[in-house]
Structure 1
Amino acid sequence: MTPRFSWVSLLCATLWLNFAVANTVSITDKQTQICSGMYSKKDWSGPVDPYISFDLKKLTEDGLSVVIFDFQDYIHLGAKSKAGSTKYICDDEAIEESLCTEEDRNKFIVVPEVYDPESETKKSLATTVQTFYLEETGLVKEKYQVKRTGYYCVGTFTRSGSVSYKADVNFRNSFGNLAAAEINKLPLYGLLAIFYVVAMALYLFAFWKHKHELLPLQKYLLAAFIFLTIDTIFIWGYYDLKNNKGNTAGTTVYMVIVSILNSAKITMSLFLLLVVCKGYGVVYPKLNKTTMRRVQFFSVLTFALSVAALIQNYMTPTDSTSLIPLFFFIPLGICFMVFYFLILQSLEQTVKYLKQQKQIVKLGMYKKLIIIFYVALFVIFGGIILSSFVLIGMSSIEMIEQHWRTRFFFVDFWPSLVYYAVFVALSFTWRPTSTSYMLAVSQQLPTDPENVADFDLDDLQSLEQEWNQEYEQPAGSQPNDADLDFSDDETDKKKKPAQPSA
């Protein structure tokens, strides 16, 4: 009888990312094999010797054949029968053909040395292959000891397709309860949190130094710095908690909180980017009240939909065919598309306006913003292309054996690192300076001689004097932030009547 388990199905499952992303995972009659990367104690030390355990929770009838092996030894599973087919389970026919012995009945057939058609050489087992046959539920006493770093798989087989079973497989690494594919996130997110703290400290120094010359946008950026630092610390804390405690109810709640913070991070980023592209803080000291309220409302709507989609995703079983999640995901996708369109449209309009007004300094700031965008896209796609070339240069087996070690970096950490670089670059471009407020409320002198006569202001000093006269401030005073409420409209000040001459 040919079992449902085969290395081909295992390969397909792996290529579809059907691998363990947690320390303990379930294997059932619907998902008959599971794989996970494992580090040896030598490569990543810890208090426990790494192992793989198998705990059978449910078995309705018959028995269950189980095999645990390093993926590179997949060619050692099964043997050719006289009929030319490959037999994986030791049964009466396999025993008669001397493919296995009576002691191995109902177990997987393991061939210690086989011919590898890819390398055209004979290959021996790289590690131990453990196989056993279970007829009762319970924890298997003999654990599979992991002696070398690799990509380990657990496969199961039953003779009858009507058998229902469930088992917990524990891929226990020496360092703790995190999966081997996630352990590198722990130190890297801790390092990223330190980067945020350092950048925030530098920005906070400029913020304090020019505390009387602040724009609302610069206050937003400081609040964003604080939030992003806390968010990164929370992410690091999640991986640290999961590594120490494993998959518990508290860990799940913590994960939901981190996911909500991530939704807020995305919404906040889109909000800041949109108001900056509309000229907030550079072209205009503040936006029209109606415009700002609309942007705020749309941001809150996007955040609410993002959280609702997240909660719905957690509540929906992975094997569910319900279309209810689309009720939130489709509107959320539309909101992201609208944000994308508004950002590009606002940036185009602002750049066009600055060109018409010949505001070279302000235009230069927005050109820097555009360069930051292009560099970020280039770096992200460059990372994808680089990883693709690395994978193309590997064989299928090498890719499966090694990709789990670096996948986290390109899928998870690399975008976080690029986001950090973009945010810091944008924040320090719009950082508080001695002239940032004056730049926002001023019109730059034209650079072409033909239009010089169109301006009455000679320099920033005359602009400051005009401000002092308009707001009845003593000479030499600094603009305060009393009139910098982003939500208020600019109102026309009533001009004072001319004083009669003496």
Structure 2
Amino acid sequence: MRNWLFPLALVGGLAAGLVSGAEVLLTSGEEERPECQGMYARKAWGGKFDPAILVKFAPSKLDKTVSMIVFEWEDRSFIGRYRTPEDIDKEYICSEPEIKDNLCNATDYGQFITQPDTEKASKGSIFTQAVKLKDSKPFRYKIEKTGYYCVQVYGLESKDFSAVVEFKNSYGELPAAQIAKLPFYGGLTIMYALFSFLWGFLYFQHRRDILPVQNYITAILLFLVVEMLVTWGFYEYSNNFGLNGAGSKVFMVVVAILNAARNSFSFFLLLIVCMGYGVVKHTLGSTMTIVRILAIVHFIFGMVYAVASLTITPEQAGPLVLLVILPLSGTLTAFYIWTLNSLKFTMKDLEERKQNVKLLMYKRLWWIILGSIFTIFGFFFINSLTFAGTGDPNFAPDHWKFRWFVLDGWLNLVYMVDIALISYIWRPTANNRRFAMSDEIAQDDDGFEIASIGWSSNRCTDDYDR
């Protein structure tokens, strides 16, 4: 094996390990890269059997040798030896020249070369074998410690071979990098169910004073319970039956559609809240129809984007991807601009009319939105610094356990906090409808006229009678 090939292929294998599944196919090629994935020990997540890496070569009539090695990432420095102290690159495969130079023994022909002190100094994770394609048997590598494991094969005597590598964890079929999503979405389902229960209790208690906007909040809370339950079910199903089956693919499409619906519903709800619907304005008139149309269009574009991202690879997409991304970006931008402008105008109107109690509600909403924006941009900045090191060979081994949270988990937490805070501010209370229909008596700093007392008193009485 060329002495520069192993480190180059190793980096490629780490990059592929970011997206690969639990079962992969290794085939011959100019540069056979290793396949690397995180693996959990049995005690970490439990299970009925010990985790293992299974390697099975396709039957062949050729009596040729293929080199194979399995190792944990931290033991990589023990693989390969320098031919001379002056050499920069290592030799990795035990063949005739390496045997003559005493880099390995004749009995090790076809195996990967390891350091003389490997057994004492390493963690004992390295296993190498010369595989005869004609009579090869399935190989099982037992996982005893949690770590980042790699499988490398190299066609020493034949380039015509293929092998299936399965990273089999004790808990089920999900890759180790995704198993944490199972309890995470289960926890989100429970949290949203709790929010819905508390909201439902207040809703029933004050059912005679419910505002129209509170009906929308009720709907989105129930929808979130369903969405999180389906997402949780998707990972539970995939853990039992694998990610590559037809059932998992259908489940995945359903989850993507629900996610698109959640995004559209959330933008719709936030926009009508910022417009003052139910608290400042009793009706939005024809504007409500326009907002609904925008939400439906955004959902359609979001659904198309979600399904396309699941069924079309980046290589297949080409320029056509713009036909999916640009419309979605347009509706998203429209929501952002319209929402922020509506909130600004609503707050300005309340401030001019000195409606301090209602103004306080919208100021709190403003701080929630502002806090979310700062949190998202701050996290994106930290992530950009973190992912700037993706070219570092240690990136995947150091981040595989929590990469899912960086890419997906934290945004769900930010969303949950936002929906909880908004639901709390707009929660059903006694005299909801009276509060929404009445105006607070403006308190001018320049004093008041005695004649205005009677008018204000009558105004309050009329509002109360309504």
TM-score of the two chains, using structure 2 as the length reference: 0.87
Q: 1:329 aligns with which of 325, 330, 345?
A: 325
Q: How does 1:482-497 map to 2 (within 5 A)?
A: none
C-alpha separation in 1, matches of 2:58 and 2:262: 41
SS at match of 1:153: strand
Q: Displacement, 1:378?
A: 4.1
State whether structure 2 residue 44 is matched by structure 1 residue 40: no
Q: 1:100 aligns with which of 96, 99, 104?
A: 104
What amino acid maps onto 1:52 in structure 2?
A: I
What amino acid maps onto 1:48 in structure 2?
A: F
Equivalent in the alignment of 1:312: 308
Q: 1:390 to 1:331 in 2, by over 3 A?
A: closer
Q: Displacement, 1:108?
A: 1.9
State whether structure 2 residue 156 is matched by structure 1 residue 155: no
Q: Displacement, 1:397?
A: 6.8
SS at match of 2:24: strand
Q: 1:221 to 1:250 in 2, by over 3 A?
A: same
Q: 1:186 to 1:314 in 2, by over 3 A?
A: closer
**Does 417-426 or 346-355 show the bigger shift?**
346-355
State whether structure 2 residue 423 is matched by structure 1 residue 427: yes
**Does 401-410 or 237-246 show the bigger shift?**
401-410
Q: 1:135 to 1:334 in 2, by over 3 A?
A: farther
Which structure's residues are more often helix, by fraction?
2
Q: 1:214 to 1:380 in 2, by over 3 A?
A: same
Q: How does 1:118-197 map to 2 (within 5 A)?
A: 124-134=121-131, 136=133, 140-158=137-155, 163=159, 166-197=162-193
Q: 1:377 aligns with which of 373, 379, 382?
A: 373
What amino acid maps onto 2:76 in structure 1?
A: Y
What amino acid maps onto 1:47 in structure 2?
A: K
C-alpha separation in 2, matches of 1:264 and 1:440: 29
C-alpha separation in 2, matches of 1:12 and 1:187: 31
What amino acid maps onto 2:254 in structure 1?
A: I
C-alpha separation in 2, matches of 1:130 and 1:299: 56
CA contact (8 A) 1:58 1:164 kept: no
Equivalent in the alignment of 2:26: 27
C-alpha separation in 1, matches of 2:454 and 2:277: 23
Q: 1:377 to 1:463 in 2, by over 3 A?
A: same
Q: 1:65 aligns with which of 35, 56, 67?
A: 67
Q: 1:292 to 1:6 in 2, by over 3 A?
A: same
State whether structure 2 residue 411 is matched by structure 1 residue 415: yes
Which stretches in structure 1 are left out of the alignment for 5+ residues? 115-121, 468-502
C-alpha separation in 1, matches of 2:414 and 2:162: 41
State whether structure 2 residue 340 is matched by structure 1 residue 344: yes
C-alpha separation in 2, matches of 1:340 and 1:58: 58
C-alpha separation in 2, matches of 1:139 and 1:237: 39
Q: 1:186 to 1:356 in 2, by over 3 A?
A: same
C-alpha separation in 1, matches of 2:57 and 2:135: 5
C-alpha separation in 1, matches of 2:443 and 2:58: 79
CA contact (8 A) 1:65 1:134 kept: yes
CA contact (8 A) 1:213 1:436 kept: yes
Q: 2:298 aligns with which of 279, 302, 312?
A: 302
CA contact (8 A) 2:234 2:248 kept: yes
Equivalent in the alignment of 1:7: 7
Q: 1:202 to 1:17 in 2, by over 3 A?
A: farther
Deviations 1:7-30 (A, max 9, x none): 34423653x464355322333448
SS at match of 2:199: helix
Cα RMSD after superposing both structures: 3.2
CA contact (8 A) 2:227 2:259 kept: yes
Q: How does 1:380-399 map to 2 (within 5 A)?
A: 380-381=376-377
CA contact (8 A) 1:207 1:214 kept: yes
State whether structure 2 residue 223 is matched by structure 1 residue 219: no
C-alpha separation in 1, matches of 2:454 and 2:224: 43
Aligned length in residues: 455
CA contact (8 A) 1:55 1:138 kept: no
Equivalent in the alignment of 1:491: none
C-alpha separation in 2, matches of 1:78 and 1:332: 51
Equivalent in the alignment of 2:117: 113
C-alpha separation in 1, matches of 2:176 and 2:39: 5
Q: Displacement, 1:64?
A: 4.1
C-alpha separation in 1, matches of 2:26 and 2:321: 26
Q: 1:232 to 1:104 in 2, by over 3 A?
A: same
CA contact (8 A) 1:57 1:138 kept: no
**Does 297-306 or 51-60 show the bigger shift?**
51-60
Equivalent in the alignment of 2:51: 50
Equivalent in the alignment of 1:90: 94
C-alpha separation in 1, matches of 2:330 and 2:145: 48
Q: Displacement, 1:369?
A: 0.5
State whether structure 2 residue 288 is matched by structure 1 residue 286: no
What amino acid maps onto 1:109 in structure 2?
A: I
Q: 1:99 to 1:199 in 2, by over 3 A?
A: same
State whether structure 2 residue 241 is matched by structure 1 residue 245: yes
CA contact (8 A) 2:32 2:153 kept: no
C-alpha separation in 2, matches of 1:168 and 1:318: 25
Deviations 1:68-123 (A, max 9, x none): 11011111121111372311122221111111223332332222537xxxxxxx98
